[in-house]
Structure 1
Amino acid sequence: MAASCSWDSMDVHLLRVLFTLLTECSVSNAARRLNQSQPAVSTALRRLREITGDQLLVRSRSGMTPTERGAALLEPVKNALAQIEAIAVRQVRFEAAKSRRVFNIATPDYLNADMLGRIVGRLRTAAPQSQVVFHSLGPDSDFTAALESGELDVVIGNWPQPPEHLRITPLFEDEVICLMRREHPLAGRPLSVDSYLAAEHLVPTPYSVGRRGVIDLHLARERLKRNVVASVPYFHLVPQMLLQTDMIFTGPRAFAEQCMRTSPLVTVDVPLAFPPMSFYLLWHDRSHYADECRWFREQIVSVARNSEAGRNRTSTRFAA
């Protein structure tokens, strides 16, 4: 029999009828199993024969028996129904205590290390079988593509204007401060605008290509220019560079305080009204509704907003 219809005509109902007929080898038994009338199953069988171009089941002494083509279709149809069920059935609710998931997060290296430690501690307590992998957010990082592909689950960063095409929630704000060695000529006294701009500045290499940070954006708006003499791609290099030179570094207070705990450095208030650095959590729509990803984001937000930096420097508009 020549096929008069394409496989595009095959739907889930016909697949279920075909599987039941091939396993029951009886139209009446298949009808009872499917809770349908016998004529309805007979009509479906006729449709299946038109689509496949094969009789699929033929009469035999014991009732009906599959044809060679029908027998060959049994396993593929069974597998197809299993795949359809996997798509249709709602995902099993995420259980943190049993999860073995690997969570991937990208952060700039100047982010508060204490806060990151608390995030890891929270995960180890709530999901002890899971893993968390931190990725560096450097100038060559295409974090948008990594979020879209699932290589990253979330990104923490600070942008004067966060990317609009990604999901976003604010975490905390941190004020801008100057960091320098204790013996620096400008240490221990208030900075004037002129002395600040004329000082030798160490600056970070932007981790988001083509985007100015809070400090450079503010200076550009005020038509001011600082004396940049060196740039560095990794913040952990900043303390040693400051200790060996008369450079100053302008950055978030939490990072400066972290440096002062291990190096003879001091902070001085900036003489300009820099806006605070706003830190955000970013993710892509692909993971927005996944229970495990939502849970992971909730842990980060909870730790960040309740950390010492968050409590002291989160504005009211960032309230949960």
Structure 2
Amino acid sequence: MSRHVIDAHLLKTLHTLITESSVSRTALLLGQSQPTISVALRRLRAITGDPLLVRSGSRMVPTSHAMTLVEPLDQALAGIAAVLNPASKFDPATTRRTFRIGSPDYLDVFFLPAIVDAFKHEAPGARIEFQHLMTVDGGYEHALESGALDLAVGNWSTPAQQLHLHLQPLCRDDLVCLMRDDHRIKHGRLTADVYREAEHLGVTTHHATGLGTIDRELARGGLSRNVTTTMPYFGMAPYVLMRSNLLFTTTRTLAMHFCSLLPLRIEPLPCEPQALSYYQLWHDRTHRSAAAIWLRRLVSGVAKKLVPENAGDRR
């Protein structure tokens, strides 16, 4: 792209031209005449060195380069709006911005679909992108700081306590043992000795050494498990359980979801009830952002509906 001076209005025109793929529609939305928008398009083509819109039959379509500009334009326009009117109210019903959440895959099957449902209901014109929390470039702390993520959700046993990170507890979900419905361990017969002697299924995490979150919680209750099989993703676990005598320790909400779909059974752990705490993390850069506050409230509301407040306190 050349070094031409480009102002906020021209950025808005470029964004609208790409997303609407129409000079006349852009003119209508921006309250400008079609000749004015046509002049702006010619200028934008000169600046970018790209046609931006090309004809396909009877209509115009964005070029591949133009499509790559949508995301940075979203960010630029949101940043300009925040500078010019930082205290302005945010209207989810009309926003077209993109929100990005980092989350581990064990939330994929029940938590993320509920977030998407609530998100699309409140912000039908916006976009939401999920990234695997443990594979975010540079780590989720850096992604929150740089703006690559708006929010991170997880159940760390020791959440990041960095100076510019904010943390909010979402819910607690107790741990249970999941197995196939016709498992040789009969209902109500899962004792501490049986649990320790059984073979367990585990999911690999970012913990290269030491205990993971679940094993730390089990240790609090005086339990340990013999993990003989590991999977890279939580979503694979129930299908392995159906064809084996393995046990799988996980949260009650995830276990109940799997049981609603497959012939599996939940047994309580043979120790004092242990629970995982879920949190959402965000950086100070978005702490006062009306859009980010709305997103955090939405995620918090979904968590409360999915996991009752007393779920982590069952006795």
Q: TM-score range by the shorter chain?
A: 0.5 to 0.7
> 1:121, CA displacement in angstroms?
2.2
Equivalent residue, structure 2, for 1:164: 161
% identical aligned pairs:
35
Q: In the alignment, is the contact (CA less than 8 A) between 1:180 and 1:247 conserved in 2? A: yes
Equivalent residue, structure 2, for 1:310: 308
Q: Name the CA distance, whole Å, in 1 between partners of 2:246 and 2:81.
A: 64
Figure out how many residues of one structure are paired with residues of the other and give that number.
Answer: 231
Q: Name the CA distance, whole Å, in 2 between partners of 1:139 and 1:221.
A: 29
Q: Name the CA distance, whole Å, in 2 between partners of 1:223 and 1:174.
A: 19
TM value normalised by structure 2:
0.66
Match for 1:150 among 147, 152, 162?
Answer: 147
Q: In the alignment, is the contact (CA less than 8 A) between 1:159 and 1:213 conserved in 2? A: no
Equivalent residue, structure 1, for 2:77: none
Equivalent residue, structure 1, for 2:32: none
Q: In the alignment, is the contact (CA less than 8 A) between 2:94 and 2:125 conserved in 1? A: yes
Cα pair distance change 1:87/1:173, threshold 3 Å: closer
Q: Name the CA distance, whole Å, in 2 between partners of 1:277 and 1:138.
A: 18
SS in structure 1 of the partner of residue 170 of structure 2: strand
Cα pair distance change 1:180/1:128, threshold 3 Å: same
Q: Name the CA distance, whole Å, in 2 between partners of 1:200 and 1:128.
A: 46
Cα pair distance change 1:231/1:244, threshold 3 Å: same
Task: State which drifts further: 84-93 or 118-127.
Answer: 84-93
Equivalent residue, structure 2, for 1:103: 99
Q: In the alignment, is the contact (CA less than 8 A) between 1:214 and 1:274 conserved in 2? A: no
Residues 169-180 of structure 1 aligned to structure 2 (within 5 Å): 169-180=168-179
- 1:231 partner letter: T
Match for 1:133 among 129, 135, 138?
Answer: 129
- 1:201 partner letter: H
> 1:191, CA displacement in angstroms?
1.1
> 1:257, CA displacement in angstroms?
0.8
Cα pair distance change 1:191/1:87, threshold 3 Å: closer
Q: In the alignment, is the contact (CA less than 8 A) between 2:156 and 2:278 conserved in 1? A: yes
Residues 212-291 of structure 1 aligned to structure 2 (within 5 Å): 212-220=211-219, 225-291=224-290
SS in structure 1 of the partner of residue 195 of structure 2: helix
> 1:241, CA displacement in angstroms?
1.0
> 1:92, CA displacement in angstroms?
3.8
Q: In the alignment, is the contact (CA less than 8 A) between 2:274 and 2:312 conserved in 1? A: no
Cα pair distance change 1:112/1:176, threshold 3 Å: farther
Q: In the alignment, is the contact (CA less than 8 A) between 2:169 and 2:279 conserved in 1? A: yes
Q: Name the CA distance, whole Å, in 1 between partners of 2:178 and 2:167.
A: 30
> 1:206, CA displacement in angstroms?
2.0
- 1:137 partner letter: L
Larger Rg: 1
Q: Name the CA distance, whole Å, in 1 between partners of 2:292 and 2:207.
A: 24
Equivalent residue, structure 1, for 2:298: 299
- Show CA shifts across 1:102-123 (max 9, x none): 1111222222744433322222
Residues 162-201 of structure 1 aligned to structure 2 (within 5 Å): 162-165=159-162, 166-201=165-200
Q: In the alignment, is the contact (CA less than 8 A) between 2:172 and 2:309 conserved in 1? A: no
> 1:162, CA displacement in angstroms?
1.5
1:122 aligns with 2:118: yes
> 1:250, CA displacement in angstroms?
0.3
Mark the runs of 5 or more structure 2 residues left unpaired by the alignment.
1-79
Q: Name the CA distance, whole Å, in 1 between partners of 2:115 and 2:183.
A: 36
Q: Name the CA distance, whole Å, in 2 between partners of 1:117 and 1:133.
A: 12
Task: State which drifts further: 126-135 or 109-118.
Answer: 109-118
Cα pair distance change 1:281/1:90, threshold 3 Å: closer
Q: In the alignment, is the contact (CA less than 8 A) between 1:118 and 1:303 conserved in 2? A: yes
- 1:119 partner letter: I
Q: Name the CA distance, whole Å, in 1 between partners of 2:196 and 2:276.
A: 20
SS in structure 2 of the partner of residue 94 of structure 1: coil
Match for 2:89 among 90, 93, 115?
Answer: 93
Q: Name the CA distance, whole Å, in 1 between partners of 2:265 and 2:254.
A: 12
Q: In the alignment, is the contact (CA less than 8 A) between 1:174 and 1:252 conserved in 2? A: yes
- 2:150 partner letter: D
> 1:260, CA displacement in angstroms?
1.0
Q: Name the CA distance, whole Å, in 1 between partners of 2:222 and 2:82.
A: 60
Q: In the alignment, is the contact (CA less than 8 A) between 1:137 and 1:207 conserved in 2? A: no
Q: In the alignment, is the contact (CA less than 8 A) between 1:171 and 1:310 conserved in 2? A: no
In angstroms, what is the RMSD of aligned CA positions? Answer: 2.7
Q: In the alignment, is the contact (CA less than 8 A) between 1:100 and 1:131 conserved in 2? A: yes
Q: In the alignment, is the contact (CA less than 8 A) between 2:134 and 2:140 conserved in 1? A: no
